[in-house]
Amino acid sequence: IGAEVIGQDPSSWFKSVTIDKGERDGVKQGMAVVSPIGIIGRILKTAPHYATVLLITDYNSAVDSIVQRTRAKAIVEGKGENRCQLKYLLRTEEVAIGDAVVTSGLGGNFPKGLMVGEVKKVDKKGHGVFQYAELVPSVDFAQLEEVFVIMERLPSSPLKEEKGKKVKKSKK
């Protein structure tokens, strides 16, 4: 459902916004929030007429993601302000400045392939088996006015077994 941003957290402790949709609209804690240009965050808490969205830039936010060009897997974690970092990105994986990072579809919150942001800095030294990469979200949170709450996840595979029935394999 579409929602309007009606408030922003003025503190530096949490990076969040308040939207004008809540429990009466079917919004629940943990639901994904997106915009046409990328992901915003997750519903942190709800009230009857509004909800609080924890932004992906918040230190408490983590999103399972992949580097679009190389398919390298990582977790995007918030770093405050308008920055995020790629965590658990193996040093052996190829990643470059300018690479797009998208949601992986894993973790159960965001559908696969939604834009997260763009890699702005890469450092392969001094981080053990992992490399450090910083990313700028695709969404400018200072200009955020309208968002969409993803109310329901679509099944990841159309070939689900029905209860008591087996999926038939094709013959060669």
What's the domain range around 116? Answer: 62-139
**Residue 35 pLDDT:** 96
The pair phi, psi for residue 18, each rounded to 5°, is: -110, 135
Per-residue model confidence (pLDDT) at position 13: 58
Is the domain of 38 the same as that of 10? yes
Query: Do both 75 and 114 map to the same domain?
Result: yes
pLDDT < 50 positions in the chain: 154-172
Predicted pLDDT at 161:
42
User: For residue 81, what pLDDT is reported?
Assistant: 80
pTM over the 0.85 mark = no
Do 69 and 135 belong to one domain? yes
User: What CATH number did the domain enclosing 93 receive?
Assistant: 2.40.10.350
Q: What's the pLDDT at 172?
A: 43
Residues 69 and 51 in one domain: no
- 25 phi/psi in degrees, rounded to 5: -100, 0
For residue 164, being part of any structural domain is answered with: no
pLDDT at site 153: 57
Which of 105, 128, 129, 132 minimizes the C-alpha distance to 120? 132
- Do 29 and 80 belong together in one domain? no
Verify that 121 and 72 share a domain, yes or no: yes
